[in-house]
Amino acid sequence: MVLWGLLLGVLLAAVIGYLCLPGLFRQRKPQEPPLDKGPVPWLGHAMTFRKNMFEFLKGMWAKHGDVFTVQLGGEYFTFVMDPLSFGPILKDAQRKLDFVEYAKELVLKVFGYQSVHGDHQMIHSASTKYLMGVGLEDLNKAMLDSLSLVMLGLNGCSPDASCWCEDGLFHFCYNTVFKAGYLSLFGHTEDKEQDLLQAEQLFVEFSKFDLLFPRFVYSLLGPREWLEVGRLQRFFHNVLSVKDNLKKDGLSNWLYHMLQFLREKEVAPAMQDKFNFMMLWASQGNTGPTSFWALLFLLKHPEAMQAVKKEATKVVGKTRLEARRSFSCDLSILKCTPVLDSVMEESLRLRASPTLLRVVQGDYSLKMANGQEYQLRHGDKVALFPYLSVHMDPDIHPEPTAFKYDRFLNPDGSRKVDFYKGGKKIHHYNMPWGSGVSICPGRFFALSEMKIFILLMVSYFDLELVDPDTLVPPVNPWRWGFGTTQPTHDVRFRYRLRPAE
Ligand code: HEM
């Protein structure tokens, strides 16, 4: 017994030593960025970082300046905070910064999807073909039809639809945009009633997964939560299974062609199901929350709401539905909404907070815009957090925490693209979609979906906050760095379809 105890102790000490020693001995070399290993061996700053990445990085930036390396859970991350120096990292002309291998590990852990050669490139080319340009027109139409189904029900507008309903604004937006987006991309059957029920069930389970998601990625779940994540993963693999999926009508060309690529690569059907789950996550995790923030900002800023409504009336036209009718509008209008475009850019600036990560392959020389050069080590990660270093920079965006609906409009009403830092024109002035090799390939469709939803909401519905004095809720600090943020709590609102004349 004593011997076993001793052996176990030695083993434990060996594991701890193996994990911690490299960190204990690591010292900053000349030309390397300031190194902050944090208070706890191996863990470094992990706990403070995970609890509130925004506040943590603000502190580190103030302490170390524009470039610094921190230890987080045994790994070293070099944060670059000067947006004028982002160019070489995002272009990666030295070909030493990897995204693809890093992403493969992440999606294996989170979605169980084992990547195959060429799939990253394939996702981007399928998205260029079917989520942008001409390919996008079919999908916009599908989205309008799906929004009609989700918002008005099976038979179009019911004769008694114009009574007030109350809901949480976050729940309403996420639920509606999720279900409509899902039906547009993953298809539907002859049985619309069943489709709606399935989409609702999918949303309920998706919300549970979404809640656990940040702590799951950080490996901080308790035993029960691990079991729950396993159950949820199996649920999604089952409901999104390709054997049912491919039989559906209106499966989007986007998904169809990506699944065809996997079939040609002889990827097992069970793995294709996991791919579907990954695409559900990528396509539905941010659009609902972003629509929520945009609508809430409009409800809190009457002058912005008025400007959007004025634009909507011009482009949507007749805005009262007769009984049994569904929404219809000429979707080419989506190209003529500069005010709404600015509202969306501003909402994303204020609430989208992606982290861009690249793994250093071989020793890497980082050249800053001010001419300074740093050496980064093989295996370390380079990280950008543009929410703090760009979106909230008062030099680029005066009064950065304020919602200004016309921030991205020129005085002549055209889109504003000229922003400056330290008197220099800046290319990366808003980065909700990431940038470089990992830029969101769904960004044009995402914008269309959210714009159609908001145009319908402000055109066909009366909306108001239950308590007009309610404050915009703060961001849940666990979600910094994971795309669009979410509020700490929901906000009650009421809505009704405008009565027919
Ligand atoms: C407001 C909505 C959205 C936001 C803010 C957003 C943001 C992002 C960001 C920041 C990334 C890059 C992540 C990284 O660098 O690791 C990303 C990746 C991705 N997004 Fe989006 N996204 C949105 C909507 C969508 C939609 C609607 C789709 C598809 C229909 C989509 C498909 C994807 C895919 C497939 C990737 C992975 C790309 C890759 O592996 O290179 N996204 N998104």
d(CA 237, CA 229): 12
**pLDDT for 423:** 96
Q: Is the pLDDT of residue 10 over 70?
A: no
**pLDDT for 22:** 61
- Using CB distances shorter than 6 Å, the residues near ligand 1 are 103, 120, 123, 131, 282-283, 286-287, 290, 352, 354, 356, 432-434, 438, 440-442, 445-446, 483-484
- Write out the DSSP string of 391-403: IT-TTTSSSTTS-
CA of 354 to the centre of ligand 1 (A): 10
CA of 203 to the centre of ligand 1 (A): 19
Q: Which atom of ligand 1 is nearest to the CA of 289?
A: 1
440 is in an annotated binding site: yes
| Number of other residues whose CB lies within 10 A of the CB of residue 70 | 25
**pLDDT for 323:** 75
Give nearest CA residue, ligand 1 atom 36. 440
Q: What domains sit in the chain, N to C, each tagged with a CATH number?
A: 2-114+355-384 (no CATH), 119-353+394-497 (1.10.630.10)
| Number of other residues whose CB lies within 10 A of the CB of residue 75 | 15
Mean pLDDT computed over 118-124: 97
CA of 407 to the centre of ligand 1 (A): 24
CA of 439 to the centre of ligand 1 (A): 7
Tell how far CA 136 is from the center of its chain. Answer: 20
Share the mean pLDDT of the chain: 93
Contact (CB, 8 A) for 318 and 345: no
d(CA 443, CA 132): 8
**pLDDT for 90:** 97
Q: Which atom of ligand 1 is nearest to the CA of 254?
A: 30
160 Cβ neighbours under 8 A, 6+ residues apart: none
Mean pLDDT computed over 148-156: 91
Residue 11 phi/psi, 5-degree rounding, is -60, -45
Residue 78 phi/psi, 5-degree rounding, is -100, 115
Quote the crossing angle between the two packed helices 223-239 and 269-284, to the nearest 10°. 100
Tell how far CA 444 is from the center of its chain. Answer: 13
421 is in an annotated binding site: no
Given ligand 1 and candidates 105, 353, 440, which is best to mutate, with the most ligand atoms within 8 Å of its CB? 440
286 is in an annotated binding site: yes
Q: Is the pLDDT of residue 96 over 80?
A: yes
**pLDDT for 251:** 94
Q: Is the pLDDT of residue 474 over 90?
A: yes
- Write out the DSSP string of 144-198: HHHHHHHHH-TTSS-TTTTS-EEEEHHHHHHHHHHHHHHHHHH-B-S-HHHHHHH
CA of 50 to the centre of ligand 1 (A): 22
Residue 127: pLDDT band (50, 70, 90) is very high
Give nearest CA residue, ligand 1 atom 7. 433
Residue bearing the bigger pLDDT, 332 or 245: 332
Coil, helix or strand at residue 214 = helix
Q: Is the pLDDT of residue 156 over 90?
A: no
Mean pLDDT computed over 15-44: 83
Mind listing the pLDDT tens digit for each residue in 286-323? 999 999 999 999 999 999 999 999 999 988 876 678 77
Q: Which long-range contacts (CB under 8 A, 24 or more apart) does 471-475 make?
A: 472/296, 472/297, 472/300, 475/351
Closest CA to 176 of 163, 167, 188: 167
Residue 326: pLDDT band (50, 70, 90) is confident
**pLDDT for 316:** 83
CA of 130 to the centre of ligand 1 (A): 15
381 is in an annotated binding site: yes
